[in-house]
Structure 1
Amino acid sequence: MPSSTASATVSPAVSTSTPSPTSGSPGIRTKSPLSVTGWLTGNEYSIRVVFQSNDDMIQYIAYESESKAWKQTPNITKAKAGSPLALTSFETSWYGTLTPQTQFNQVELFFLDSENRLNEWSWDITDSTLGTSGSLTPYTIPTGSDSRLASYWPFIIYQDAGLGLHEVVYDCRFPGCWFNRTLNQTGYDGADIVIVPAQQNLREMNIIYQRGDQKLMSLDRNSTNGNLSTASTFSIDLPAAASFAALTVVRPSSDDAALDTYILYQDSAGMINVIWNNDASGWQGPETFPAFNDADNGTSIACLTQAAFFTDTPLQSNSPLSRCYFQVNGALREVRLDGSDWEIVGDVNAVL
């Protein structure tokens, strides 16, 4: 598990009840928050995309490559209107030797309730239930009213009321297994946050955020000691609280050691642009691609990096999971990174 140098921890408070899930599928709301996770199982893969409906209920849609079909869940639970969503996943075998019956991919969702407290919702995707409130929820961690969220297991990033960035880490060397500390960085109020691997085996993580002067920044987080260092300051003209997301893939012809990072953001004209780092020359772009045409202005953007975990599960080369999602005329558009180009997979159609 990752280690951290700060000494702050979270303490649980009185748990609050979570609304019971209801049936029905009102559909994705306009400019809904979006988040995505996915994993490989042999030659097959799984994708989960989460969004919010018009009545503030959280739903997710699930894709299994084996069936080549999307399926939509009934309502899961309620979040505050427009709550940020951070979806991630892990394989239970990462935490010990399990039998085939107890080895599965657990999906984790983080969101805000009506009082801007950080909530966790988790479920076993092999089970037909709609999950349950997780062990982080009783800590009632307060966030800023406009805070965004980011997660790549076991890390969660949020913004406090003073606009400071914090991380919560699942690490059972600490009481209750949850660790919370400030990153001593200030972000733009209500701006997106991203966390993706910067190196294989999660040796370093890349935290991307918008600074108070609207500049896009990235921090390297060393997973051995928790130390942070400035990785990049981008010169792109990013609108205030613009939508952005990122994904990481294994660099071709690198013996699976080096990783490439792609950052997608929406400019003031509503165009989705890409900047990327895929060789020793540093960051390139911005550039846009036909696959991003017609994106709704103000859409959320969610990008998928394969679930990985320290030495147990490194990122795999030629992963089919290099995808991003955004809305076009209210519909959910799926695009895929194909080498150096982006192609439209299609608009997602799911059935209950």
Structure 2
Amino acid sequence: MSSGRDSHLDPYGQQPGLEVVHHPDLEVATPYGLVPISSLPQVQPHEYLPPHDSKEAASTAYGYTSYSDEHNASPAPYPNEDGGLEKKKKRLRWIIIGGVVAVVIIVAAVVGGVVGSRNSSGAQSSGANSPLSTGTNAGAPNDGVPAGEDSRPPVDTLEPPELIRPGSGLSVTGWRMPDGNVETYLFFQDPQDGLRYSRCDTSRRVTGNDSACWAEPVSIPASAKAGTRLAASTALWGDEYQPQIELFYVGGKTRLLGVNLNEQNTPSAAESSVNDKRLFTGLDSGLAAYWPWTIYQDSTGVLYHVRNLLDGSDWSPSDEAWDNNRINRTALVGSNLAIAPTSTNFTLQAVKAGYAVFYQDPDDRLAVSITDIESPFRPSDFHVPWPADDLPDITLPKRAPLAAFSVAREGGEDLQLVDTYVLYLDSNANINVLYTDSTSWDSSDDGASGVVWKTASPRALRSVDRDTDIACLTMATTIHSAAKQEVPLEDGSSGENRCYFQKGGRVVEVRLDRDKQDWVVTGHLPIF
């Protein structure tokens, strides 16, 4: 895969042999006389300037014009000054003042650093009682793992990772390969705002350690906004797209951007043609994607979908054509978004009513919309899989993370029906599951007849990080694989419907045990 951003040396890093010694009686010469250091304002650790290799200093990918975030206007340039003796006097005066200020800042920084270090040590020793600690430590750390099945250390006892930022956006996508194994990509953002992914080939799993399949993270070329949400999907079609992974994210000026990964191309990572649409999202817009759809939100809360227009009657991906349309739904500004297909058949997923979007409404309730479900152009062979207007009344914390996935309904093959699962975080840092129970489904009636929504709070999903995102895998589908075969949505019996979240800063993988209607922790990813 192509490499991501190059690392930069820290110009402010420590130099061997140099040490600043603090003298409590040291005085600083100022224009107003000698002033004791102890009487000067102290610089706190959070007030230090960012290192030179921070986001503001990073170059943009793909040759985009560099620009400041529209919500953080750049300061105006200094006015021009005339030359002459007065100018030289002013310059000398500023040099002297600058030197004095530099000494003050250096000494104060040392004092502040010592204080900050002591405070940090105190916070670490206080554990979960610290207001800065993420998540909680209540409950068994390996809830959901059968005894004797996992000998690895509990997630809660491991050191926090350095490759992923706390509260990073997460997104996962995957497909079943011709050899029968599954290939999965999990995307995340690192502390320097770079985007990375880890890949799993299930043939590399080890008995009792499913997470052994995950490879070391790989950087991808992107210019992402700090804290962007992520949305990944998989395009399958013939030999050319076998597969092509599309990752969508928010960049500078809240522009919706994309990058695709295709091992058959050189380079394998390339700019997505969706970038030519010049679309802009709200500042904290959620994102969700399932091929060929991508959902985002504008600054007023209105939802939009972007669709790859596909080429002709063979449903092949278009290299250039994308459509952007408003959805007649308004969500809480900054709401997270989740998408799930409403049919097992790609030809029904890719048209009107082909997906459901879950979001938080302006009253903080969980809401859902099957877009264009009332359209007269909806396919005649589409069947509504579950009651979209009968969602339980669930109030979410502000901007709570959401994820969703669908599986083929057992016995619903003729109507190409799905069952859907929605995961959301509650105010106690527990992930809850809302799912469709179709055990009483009346197959002689429509797809939604007898289907009810139920909720659960599995032990394996409790006590996660409060700022975590959630990502869940819906397997990719196509009407034309490399073997020229249709690939419909799988049912949940394969065990590949997995979800991901952060706990103790690390990324945890859980799987749905559909037979038991329960969730099992399979391990954590090698994102260190």
Q: Which moved more, 1:163-172 or 1:253-262?
A: 253-262
| Aligned: 1:137 with 2:282 | no
| Aligned: 1:347 with 2:524 | yes
Displacement, 1:194? 1.3
Per-residue deviation, residues 42-68 of structure 1 (Å, max 9, x unmatched) = 421011000000000000000001223
Show the counterpart of 1:41: 177
Displacement, 1:254? 3.4
Indicate which of 150, 154, 171 corresponds to 2:292: 154
Show the counterpart of 1:60: 197
Show the counterpart of 2:488: 314
3-state SS, counterpart of residue 78 of structure 1: coil
One-letter amino acid of the counterpart of residue 200, structure 1: T
Per-residue deviation, residues 303-334 of structure 1 (Å, max 9, x unmatched) = 00001136832102333320000001000000
265 and 27 in structure 1: CA distance in 2 versus 1, 3 angstrom threshold: same
| Aligned: 1:240 with 2:414 | no
Contact 1:170 1:177 in 2 (8 A): yes
Show the counterpart of 2:388: 231
Contact 1:35 1:303 in 2 (8 A): yes
Indicate which of 248, 251, 257 corresponds to 1:119: 257
Contact 1:18 1:133 in 2 (8 A): no
Contact 2:507 2:527 in 1 (8 A): no
Task: Give identity over the alignment, percent.
Answer: 31
Unaligned runs of 5+ in 2: 1-61, 67-160, 206-212, 313-317, 349-353, 442-449, 481-485
Show the counterpart of 2:463: 294
CA RMSD of aligned residues (A): 2.6
- The normalised TM-score by structure 1 is 0.84
- Work out which of the two has the higher radius of gyration on C-alpha atoms and give 1 or 2: 2
Show the counterpart of 2:230: 85
| Aligned: 1:335 with 2:510 | yes
3-state SS, counterpart of residue 136 of structure 1: helix
Show the counterpart of 2:322: 178
Show the counterpart of 2:417: 258
Show the counterpart of 2:126: none
135 and 303 in structure 1: CA distance in 2 versus 1, 3 angstrom threshold: same
3-state SS, counterpart of residue 460 of structure 2: helix
Indicate which of 361, 364, 380 corresponds to 1:211: 361
Q: Which moved more, 1:36-45 or 1:316-325?
A: 316-325
Once residues 347 and 267 of structure 1 are traced to their aligned partners in structure 2, the CA distance between those partners, rounded to angstroms, is 22
Whichever structure has more strand as a proportion of its residues is: 1
Once residues 52 and 46 of structure 1 are traced to their aligned partners in structure 2, the CA distance between those partners, rounded to angstroms, is 20
Unaligned runs of 5+ in 1: 1-14, 20-24
Displacement, 1:200? 1.8
One-letter amino acid of the counterpart of residue 369, structure 2: L
Contact 1:239 1:268 in 2 (8 A): yes
Indicate which of 166, 170, 186 corresponds to 2:304: 166
Per-residue deviation, residues 240-272 of structure 1 (Å, max 9, x unmatched) = 211111111122343473311111111111111
Displacement, 1:344? 0.7
Q: Which moved more, 1:123-132 or 1:243-252?
A: 123-132
Per-residue deviation, residues 268-326 of structure 1 (Å, max 9, x unmatched) = 11111111103134343321111112211121000000011368321023333200000
Contact 1:326 1:334 in 2 (8 A): yes
- The normalised TM-score by structure 2 is 0.57
260 and 297 in structure 1: CA distance in 2 versus 1, 3 angstrom threshold: same
Show the counterpart of 1:193: 337
Contact 1:38 1:321 in 2 (8 A): no
One-letter amino acid of the counterpart of residue 216, structure 1: L
Aligned length: 324
